[in-house]
Structure 1
Amino acid sequence: MVAATGQVRAEDHPARLRSPGIVLGVGLGGFVDGILLHQILQWHHMLSSTDTDNIGVKYYSPLTVPGLEMNTLWDGLFHTVCWLAVLTGIALLYARVTHRRRQVWRSRVLWGWMLVGWGLFNLVEGVIDHHILGIHHVHGGPYQLWWDLAFLVLGALLVAGGYLLQRGGHGSAEPRST
C-alpha cells in the first residue's frame, strides 16, 4: 500500500519483517530453553555435560555448590545473549515499521518469522551444544540421545510451521485490499 506521501510503508511488505522476526524468535526461543530447561525443570545447565563433552571443557558438576555456581554463571551469560537478541530484534522491528505498530504485532508474518527464529535457535543450539560439543543435553541419562533428537525435531517443526504461517500473512494485521 502506498502512503499519502507516495512512499511504500515497511509494514506493507512482509519481507521487511523477516529479520526482526527471526532475531526475536532466536532470543525468545533461547529464553524458553534457559528458563524452562535450565531453571524450572533443571534438566541441564550450559556446562552440565562437560564430563563427557567432545572438546575437553573442565567439568563443573551441577550437584556441587562450586559447580552449580559456574553453571549458573554460564547460564547467565547465555541469557545475556538471548536478551541482546531480543533487544536487537525489537530495534530492527522498530526501524522497519512507521505506522500501525500495534497491527504489526498481530501480523501472521511477524509471528511466523519469530517461530522460524525459535526453530533455528533449537536447531543450531541442539546441533552445536548437544551433538558437536556435547557440553550439555536436553535431559541427561539413558535416553539423552532421544531427548536431544526430539529437541531438533521440535526445532524443525517450528521452522516449518513458522514459514507456513508467515506465507499466509502480510505485513499488517489488516486484510489485503484488492
Structure 2
Amino acid sequence: MFSDTANPPSPARATAGFPWAGYLLGFALGGFFDGILLHQVLQWHHLLSAVESSAVQDIRVQILADGLFHAAMYLVAAGGLWALWRSRRRFAEPGADRLLFANALIGFGVWHILDGVLSHWILGIHRIRMDSATPLLWDLLWFVVFGVAVVAVGWRLRRGGGAGGGGAGGGRAAPVALTLAVLISGPVAALPPPGVTTVMVLFKPGTTVPDVFAAVAAVDGRTVWQDPSGQFWAIDLGEKGNPRALYRHGALLVSNTLLPTGCLDWFRT
C-alpha cells in the first residue's frame, strides 16, 4: 500500500519543478556562455588565473579546476533538463513559455552575479579581463550588463503576466529552445579556441616515453611539452589531427573536452 505504483505522484508534484527547470538551465547557460566567450573566443581569463600559488599554476591543477567547472555546469544542466522533463505537463499551459524563459534569464543573471561576487571579489581566483589596467571596471561592467540587468529583465517578464504561450503546442517553443541551447552550448564550451591545435593528453599509468612517441607518430602530431612524470603531455596535432585517435594509443584523457588550450600560452616561459 506504500509503493510508488500504488500511490503515483500527483500531477501537482510532477510539475512542481517547472520553475526550477528554467532557473537551472539559465544558470548552466551562464556558465557555458562564460566558457565560450571569455575562455575561448576572447581568451581574457582562466578559471584560476589570478591565483599566484606555484602549486595552483601547475598546468595539471589548472586543467583539473577547469574540468571540475565544466563538470559542475553539466550537472546543473542535467538537473534542469530532468526537471523540465518531469514537468512537461505544464508546457501547454497559458504563459508557460513566458515563465520558463523569464526564469532562464534570472538563472543566467544569477550565475554572473554569483561569479562576480564570489570568484572576482571574495575569492579572487580570476577577473573578467586579466590583462586590463582597470580590472574592476570590467568586473563591474560584466556584473551589471550580464548579471543585474538580465535578472531585472527576467523578473519584469515574469511579473508582466499575459499569455506567452500555451494552447495547441504553443507552450513547447521555450522548452525546446532551451533544451537545444544547453545541448549545443555544453559541448561547444568544452572545445579548444578556434585555430588551436594543441591538446593536453593524460596517458594511462605505465605508459612509457617510447609508447607516447609511438602514439604521437600514429596521429601525425608532435610533442610540445611534458610534465616530469612523463604521463602528461602537450601534443600539437596540426590542422587535420584527430584527438580521439589518441584514445586508441594509450590516452586516458584528452583535454579538448576539459580546457580551452589557448590558455597554455599563459604558462609558457
Q: CA deviation at 1:165?
A: 1.5
Deviations 1:11-58 (A, max 9, x none): 9x9x8532111111111110001121112211111110112xxxx684
| The one of 70, 74, 88 aligned to 1:79 | 70
| The one of 165, 170, 176 aligned to 1:173 | 165
| Paired position in structure 2 for 1:162 | 154
| 8 Å contact kept, 1:107–1:169 | no
Instruction: Tell me which protein shows more strand as a share of its residues.
Output: 2
Higher relative CO (Cα under 8 Å, sequence separation at least 6) belongs to: 1
Cα distance in 2 between the residues matched to 1:47 and 1:130? 10
Question: Given the superposition, is the C-alpha separation of residues 78 and 57 from structure 1 closer, same or farther in structure 2, using an over 3 Å criterion?
Answer: farther
Q: Which runs of 4 or more aligned residues in structure 1 lie more than 3 Å from their structure 2 counterparts after TM superposition?
A: 7-11, 56-59, 169-172
| Paired position in structure 1 for 2:29 | 28
Q: CA deviation at 1:70?
A: 3.3
Q: Does 1:93 align with 2:84?
A: yes
| 8 Å contact kept, 1:108–1:166 | yes
Q: CA deviation at 1:126?
A: 1.0
Please say which of residues 166-175 and 120-129 is displaced more in the overlay: 166-175
Cα distance in 1 between the residues matched to 2:140 and 2:54? 23
Cα distance in 2 between the residues matched to 1:19 and 1:80? 19
Instruction: Tell me which protein shows more helix as a share of its residues.
Output: 1
Q: CA deviation at 1:167?
A: 2.2
| The one of 125, 137, 149 aligned to 1:146 | 137
Amino acid at match of 1:145: L
Q: Which runs of 5+ in 2 are unaligned?
A: 1-9, 168-269
Aligned residues: 156
Amino acid at match of 1:128: L
| 8 Å contact kept, 1:109–1:171 | no
| 8 Å contact kept, 2:18–2:90 | no
Structure 1 SS opposite 2:89: coil
Cα RMSD over matched residues?
3.1
| TM, length-normalised to structure 1 | 0.74
| 8 Å contact kept, 2:19–2:103 | yes
| 8 Å contact kept, 1:9–1:98 | no
| 8 Å contact kept, 2:17–2:83 | no
Question: Given the superposition, is the C-alpha separation of residues 111 and 10 from structure 1 closer, same or farther in structure 2, using an over 3 Å criterion?
Answer: farther
Deviations 1:60-106 (A, max 9, x none): 1xxxxx53x532332221111111111101111111122647x89x7
Amino acid at match of 1:173: G
Cα distance in 2 between the residues matched to 1:139 and 1:121? 18
| TM, length-normalised to structure 2 | 0.51
Q: How high is the sequence identity, in percent, across the aligned residues?
A: 37
Question: Given the superposition, is the C-alpha separation of residues 18 and 170 from structure 1 closer, same or farther in structure 2, using an over 3 Å criterion?
Answer: farther
Question: Given the superposition, is the C-alpha separation of residues 107 and 17 from structure 1 closer, same or farther in structure 2, using an over 3 Å criterion?
Answer: same
Question: Given the superposition, is the C-alpha separation of residues 170 and 83 from structure 1 closer, same or farther in structure 2, using an over 3 Å criterion?
Answer: farther
Cα distance in 1 between the residues matched to 2:98 and 2:54? 42
Cα distance in 2 between the residues matched to 1:131 and 1:24? 25
Cα distance in 1 between the residues matched to 2:19 and 2:44? 32
Cα distance in 2 between the residues matched to 1:76 and 1:23? 19
| 8 Å contact kept, 1:21–1:114 | yes
Question: Given the superposition, is the C-alpha separation of residues 132 and 160 from structure 1 closer, same or farther in structure 2, using an over 3 Å criterion?
Answer: same
| 8 Å contact kept, 1:17–1:171 | no
Which has the greater radius of gyration? 2
Structure 1 SS opposite 2:74: helix
